[in-house]
Every structure is written in C-alpha cells, then in structure tokens.
Amino acid sequence: MKLAGRPELTERLCAEYALGTLRGRARARFTRRLREDAALARAAAGWEQRLAPLLEAVAPVAPPPRLWRRIEERLAERRAPAPGLWRYLAFWRGLGLAASGATAVLLATVVLLWPQRAPEPAVAQLPASEVPAVYLAVLTDPATRRPALVVSAGRSAAQLAVKTLDPAIHVAGRSLELWALPAQGAPRSLGLVAPGEKAVLALAAAADRALEDVPALAVSLEPPGGSPTGAPTGPVLASGPCVKYW
Amino acid sequence: MSGAPEPLAALLAATARGEQAAFARLYRLTAPKLFAVALRMLRREDWAEEVLQECYMRIWDHARDYREGLSAPMTWMASIVRNRCLDWLRRPAVEVADAEGEVAAATAAPGPGPAEGLDRVQAARRINECLQALEAKQRQAIVLAFYEGRSHSELAAHLREPLGTVKTWVRRGLLRLRACLEGAGA
C-alpha cells in the first residue's frame, strides 16, 4: 500500500494502529514501516499520545509478586554465561552492531592499549588522526562488558594478532577458539588462541578477503584442540564487532 | 505532553544504561497500570502475567529506543503492552471470556496509583468529554477496541452490525475525536 501523497489514508492507518483495530498482516506491515519511516513513526506516536489519556480510566491492579521475581530471574540469566553461541548472537544482534559511538570508543581504546604492533608501523608513532589500514575487533565479556581480547589484522596481511587483555579468559585444559561471524551463514573458525599475552593466528587469505563481510568475532571455550564439529560447541566467552578502519 | 518533571523518563534512561535498580523502580511504578491494561485486553490473569513478563524484558532490552520527544514514557510502555496483547489475541487458540467477567469487575475497583499530575487528569477529562460528544455507537466501538482489543469483525459480532458499518463508525469516530481534542469542536 502506497502511503506517500495519501495523507488521509496515512492518518487513518496511524489512528487505527494506535486504537488497535489495525490487525493481522496489515498491522505487521505497518509496524515494519514504522521502523523505516520516521515521519510515519511520529504520526503513529502522535495518535498513541492522543489516545493515552484513555488509560487513566484503567484502575491499576497490582500484579502478583511472582511476576517481578520471574523478571529478575530472566535478568540474572542474561548476565550469567550462557551455554551456547547462538544466544549471544541473538543478544548482540539485538543490540545492533552498528553502534558507531561504541566503535569510536573501541578505536580509542585500541590505540591506547596497543602502543606497538609488529606487522605494521607502531600506532604510537602516528599522528592521532592516522591509524593504519587494519581490521579491529575488541571482544568483550557479555556478562561484565569488560574487554577481554583485542584482535587486529593489517588489511593485506594473512595473519591476525590477538592480544589478551583479561588473562582469566584462558581456561587450563580447554582451548579458546576464535570465530568469524559472517553477516550471512555459519560461524567460521579462525583458529585457536594460544594462552599468553599475545598470539598470532594464520588466516587462510589476506584479511581483506578473510574478514570481508564479517561484522563480528567471538571466542568460544572448546575441548583441547578446538571444536570437534567445526562449529562452536562451548560457551561464548567474549564477542564484539569487527570493523574496518581506513 | 507534560511540562512537569517526568521521573519515569529518567528511570527509562537509567534502564537503558543497564541499571537494574532503576528498572525495578520503573516496574513498581508502572506494573499495576500495565497489568490492568493487559488484564482488560486478555481477561485472563495468567496470560496478562505472561505478556507483562515479556513486555518488561522488552522494555529492559529496548529502553534505549525510547524517544522522550515522541511520546510520554507511560504511552511508550503501554504501546509495547497493547501491541503484545493484540498479538496474543491473534493466536487462533485464544478464546476470550466474556468481558463482563470477574476480572473486569476487579479492574473497575479503584486501586492505589501513583499521584497523577494535574495535566494528566485534565487530559483524561478532556478525552472523556470528547468521547461523550461522539455518537453513542462510535463511542462504544472505539472504547471496546481500545480497552478490550476488539478487532473490526469482533466489534461487528458484538454490536450485531455489518462489518462495513462498524468500520465506518470507528473511522469517523476517530476523526471526530481528533477534531474535538484539537479544539475544533466535534
């Protein structure tokens, strides 16, 4: 349904959306459009606000105490390490990977935390405005939101540098496996992260190809030697957006 | 809508930063109203609880999407709850009990609520005046749709009128309501 140039239809849809009589597939379509069309979202919110005083007539009813307890339990689950990778994927897909403000902070953090890097000119020697052409990812612990690993690769280099910020992420007797999480398709293993402050992983191709279309990285805890299946099997210990910087 | 200080907006902002204590306060202040809204639409306490649980998790996850300039905090949260209720009512298995059930009676009883700002009371009075100015059938259709989440076809069945007639009542009723609220008279 075309809404452009049809103010009366737009107004009616917004009103019936707010009232609740816009239903079924029409409502689902309209809801999707609200996400893409700011003017439409404003008009619909205007109608919701217009009808909101009707809510004053609804006398409050205290929900049973168990309701808040259940919500608290679910919040606690969110904070605890989860068993599988996919939950985390859903978790930070929900957050949105394109948090540009966060990315700027990540870059600043990397520049500060990593004053010298082997394959590229040292960051510390560069003017603040010039960071070499690299892929960068800061992987954070979803539970504490503290950075655990920094991963970087020069765009033409066929290797990844991994710096461990939180040594506790390495677990004796288990392997830490790094995964590329492509925009589409299943996670691809990038190899095992050896314990220690710094590790280097060989890439199958130059970073420009290996990390092209990889918006995020994650590390999972795996049996010694890595995942037996080729897909992540253990809990995700850290994850974060992977950005191109040049 | 309100020029008064709005603590709910501050609590939503703190919730967006992941502050669970603020979220707990937000829940205490808003859950009784939102629970009542869900009860009115779903007419079953267990469903209302389930919907509210999902909605507060959604509020926790999406508090950062709240835009103060777009709608009042309570409107934004009520919209999440009403939308989820409407989804719920879409499920084919849902057989909604009659509106005049005991839950409806319970919700009609006055309950303790947070002190309401004068402007909110005035807004409620104003929309009531405007509702009263509508034709009775338009008013009935709009009120049933809003509070009970009735669709056009459910309204038609309930009011024993053809679907097209009911759609027209709703459409015209909403237009007249807006005109009245904007002070152009009804």
Residue type, position B69, single letter: G
CB burial of A111-145 (b: ≥16 within 10 Å; e: otherwise) equals: eeebeebeebeebeeeeeeebbebbbbbbbbbeee
Q: Is A59 close to B90, i.e. CB distance below 8 A?
A: no
Residue type, position A178, single letter: L
In this complex, the residue of A12, A58, A71 whose CB is nearest that of residue B171 is A12
pLDDT lower than 70: segments of chain B: 1-6, 91-118, 184-186
Distance, in Å, from the CA atom of A214 to the CA atom of A211, rounded to the nearest integer, reads 5
Whether A39 and chain B come into contact, CB under 8 Å, resolves to no
- State the smallest CA–CA distance between residue A198 and chain B in angstroms: 32
Q: Is B33 close to A64, i.e. CB distance below 8 A?
A: no
Query: What pLDDT is attached to residue A130?
Result: 55
Residue type, position A158, single letter: A
Query: What pTM did the predictor assign?
Result: 0.58
Q: Is A57 close to B124, i.e. CB distance below 8 A?
A: yes
DSSP-based three-state secondary structure for A33:
helix
DSSP-based three-state secondary structure for B94:
coil
Whether A87 and chain B come into contact, CB under 8 Å, resolves to no
Distance, in Å, from the CA atom of B79 to the CA atom of B73, rounded to the nearest integer, reads 10
Cβ atoms A139, A151 nearer than 8 A: yes
Among candidate residues B74, B104, B134, the one with its CA nearest the CA of residue A55: B74
pLDDT tens digits, B55-87: 999 999 999 989 888 889 999 999 999 999 999
- Measured at the CA of A27, the angle between CA A22 and CA B26, to 5 degrees, comes to 95
Query: What pLDDT is attached to residue A46?
Result: 93
Q: Is B72 close to A49, i.e. CB distance below 8 A?
A: yes
pLDDT tens digits, A41-76: 999 999 999 999 999 889 999 999 999 999 999 998
Q: Is A55 close to B33, i.e. CB distance below 8 A?
A: yes
CA A220 → CA A78, A83, A180, distances in Å? 17, 10, 11
Contacts of range B59-66, beta carbons closer than 8 Å, 24 or more positions apart: B59/B12, B59/B15, B59/B23, B59/B26, B60/A75, B60/B15, B60/B23, B61/A94, B63/B12, B63/B13, B63/B15, B63/B16, B63/B23, B64/B16, B66/B9, B66/B12, B66/B13, B66/B16
Q: Is A56 close to B124, i.e. CB distance below 8 A?
A: yes
Q: Is B147 close to A58, i.e. CB distance below 8 A?
A: yes
Chain A residue numbers with beta carbons less than 8 Å from the beta carbon of B159 are: none
Mean pLDDT of chain B: 83
**Residue in A closest to B125 by C-alpha:** A53
The full length of chain A comes to 246
- State the smallest CA–CA distance between residue A189 and chain B in angstroms: 29
